[in-house]
Amino acid sequence: MDDLLEQVELLESSANLSTSIGDVQKAIDMLMAARAKIAADPKTAPVTLAKLQDAFKKTLETAQKDLKPIYSGLNKYGKALDKKFKDKPLPSAENDALSSHPSLINRAIAMHLLREGQFGVASTFIEEANRRPPHPEPTPNTPNPYIRDSWEKDIAEGTFNSEKLQQQFADMYHILHELRDARNLQPAIQWARQRSDVLEARGSNLEFELCRLQFICLFAQAQDDDMEDENPSGPLHAVAYAQRELAPFQKRYAREIQQLICATVFWQNIEHSPYQRLFYNDSAWEEVAHSFNREFCSLLGLSADSPLFIAATAGAIALPYLLKMQAIMKEKRTEWTTQDELPVEIPLPSQYHFHSIFVCPVSKEQTTDANPPMMMPCGHVIAQESLDKLSKGGRFKCPYCPNESQPKDARKVVL
């Protein structure tokens, strides 16, 4: 992989098209100037054209010469790619479970493009997908595919309402841009304030986090003596802001607000105060931007990351394992018969584990809502039913360590 990265770096640094574009622009400028000159005085045409010939030829030659490193860079990159991926078989189409749902795939692609802010590409894609409606093909699990669900129909029948989603994502990108690039919290605070109730019901801290960052910004900015300033800053204004804006958060975030107010005592040397961590946090902006992104998507009923991206990444991780398994099955002439279940464990990174399960180490059964995992005071976890059996209602010993406890001391674990 390092070879490939090296080649990409090389391409980016040396073999980019900017010099060639400059050369071509020069040639165009030259032609335009000549045209203007001839248009102004047609008599000068022969001289102007004669003069132009050599200069124009030279510019084109330079453009050709500047293109050379790009060709050789691309060549080298192609070779590095071939070297890295040689002899890697492509997965066969035997287990293609998706060809029975082409409109779902189109929908996933359209949604991905919309949520990535690629609005132009998304609308072209939707338009073309509508023009050529997909034809579902039978697969082993879906021998008679037909479009059933309305959400599968919408893109196949051209009723997919992308405009509304597009507007919503455009709003999201505008607010994110203001946060990340312009360091302006106001649009995000306004958005959160309008949805204060929903966010609070979800247990979200977004609105408070945004207001806290606003306080910190006001506090840290150099005090401006100019009374005309629309947005005065400095510690005093930060305190005024806290009195004005943080009051509604008093009940839920009393401790955090106390910290902010106490920090103002150290206004002259905040970097040596116990509150230094709050005021010098480089990742604070990225954290609120991320948190805003997550809340925005969940209010739309969507996950914060694109499902298509997650599926493709997980698929890329799983592919080598599946190919290996396919080769082994071929060798042993066996078949993979379990439906909707993978025959091998795929080691996905922890952020790709969406449905955590817990298997009780005593009963070896998966926990359920009716039989939840319970943590004993020693920190060991077993299923409720196992705990009931072990304790019989009285004091009992943990099966994994010498500690004893009462069933009432065990706490339900929510995964």
Q: Does residue 398 touch Zn ion according to CB under 5 A?
A: yes
**Structure tokens of 259?**
């910290």
Nearer to Zn ion, 266 or 400 (CB): 400
The nearest distance, CB 373 to Zn ion, in angstroms, is 14
Q: Under 8 Å CB-to-CB from 160, ≥6 apart: which residues?
A: 107, 110, 126, 130, 154
Token code pair at residue 126? 């939707």
Instruction: Identify the burial level of 292 via C-beta atoms within 10 angstroms of its C-beta, where 0-12 means exposed, 13-18 middle and 19 or more buried.
Output: buried
Report the residue number, 42 or 402, with the smaller CB distance to Zn ion: 402
Q: 405 pairs with which residues across the strands?
A: 396
Stretch near Zn ion under the rule CB under 5 A, chosen from 7-15, 253-261, 309-317, 390-398: 390-398
SS3 323: helix
Distance in angstroms (rounded) separating the CA atoms of residues 407 and 40: 99
310: Cβ–Cβ under 8 A, 6 or more apart, which residues? Answer: 303, 352
Shortest spacing between CB 399 and Zn ion, in angstroms: 7
Structure tokens given for 53: 């010939």
d(CA 300, CA 298): 5
**Which residue, among 88, 138, 104, 81, has the nearest Cα to 322 in the 3D structure?**
88
Q: Residue 38 or residue 378: which is nearer to Zn ion going by CB?
A: 378
Q: Show contacts with Zn ion in window 149-178 (CB under 5 A).
A: none
Site size for Zn ion, by CB under 5 A?
A: 6
Stretch that binds Zn ion, among 51-59, 79-87, 153-161, 378-386 (CB under 5 A): 378-386
Report the chain's C-alpha Rg in angstroms: 32
Q: Which is nearer to Zn ion, 37 or 380 (CB)?
A: 380
Residues 6+ apart with CB under 8 A from 227: none
Q: Is 413 in the site for Zn ion (CB under 5 A)?
A: no
Residue type for position 123: S
Among 121, 323, 378, 390, binds Zn ion (CB under 5 A): 378
Q: Which is nearer to Zn ion, 138 or 377 (CB)?
A: 377
User: To the nearest whole angstrom, how small is the minimum distance from the Cβ of residue 350 to Zn ion?
Assistant: 24
Q: Is 275 in the site for Zn ion (CB under 5 A)?
A: no
The distance of closest approach from Cβ of residue 402 to Zn ion in the complex, given in angstroms and rounded to an integer, is 8
Nearer to Zn ion by C-beta: 401 or 415?
Answer: 401
Considering Cα of 284, then 285, then 287, then 288, what sign does the dihedral take? Answer: positive
Write the single-letter amino acid at 124.
T
Name which position in 380, 391, 405, 407 contacts Zn ion (CB under 5 A). 380
Q: Cα(112)–Cα(254) distance, rounded to whole angstroms?
A: 40
397: β partners: 404
239 close to 262: Cβ distance less than 8 angstroms: no
Distance CA 151, CA 161 (A): 11
Of 254, 401, 413, 415, the one binding Zn ion (CB under 5 A) is 401
The stretch near Zn ion (CB under 5 A) out of 70-78, 81-89, 238-246, 391-399 is 391-399
Shortest Å, Cβ 368 to Zn ion:
22
Identity of the residue, 239 or 378, whose beta carbon is nearer to Zn ion in the bound complex: 378
Residues paired with residue 366 on neighbouring β-strands, in sequence order: 359
Q: Tell me the per-residue interface mask from 335 to 374 with Zn ion, x by CB under 5 A, - otherwise.
A: ----------------------------------------
Q: Which CB atom, from 320 or from 379, has the smaller least distance to Zn ion?
A: 379
Q: Which whole-number Å values give the CA distances from 302 to 120, 297, 298, in the listed order?
A: 21, 5, 5
Taking the complex as a whole, how short is the minimal distance between the CB of residue 357 and Zn ion, in angstroms?
21
User: By Cβ distance, which residue is nearest to Zn ion?
Assistant: 398
| Segment interacting with Zn ion (CB under 5 A) among 13-21, 100-108, 255-263, 397-405 | 397-405
Minimum separation from the CB atom of position 383 to Zn ion (A): 14
Tell which one of 275, 321, 358, 400 touches Zn ion (CB under 5 A). 400
- How far apart (Å, rounded) are the C-alpha atoms in residues 171 and 194? 14
Taking the complex as a whole, how short is the minimal distance between the CB of residue 379 and Zn ion, in angstroms? 6
Site for Zn ion, rule CB under 5 A: 378, 380, 398, 400-401, 403
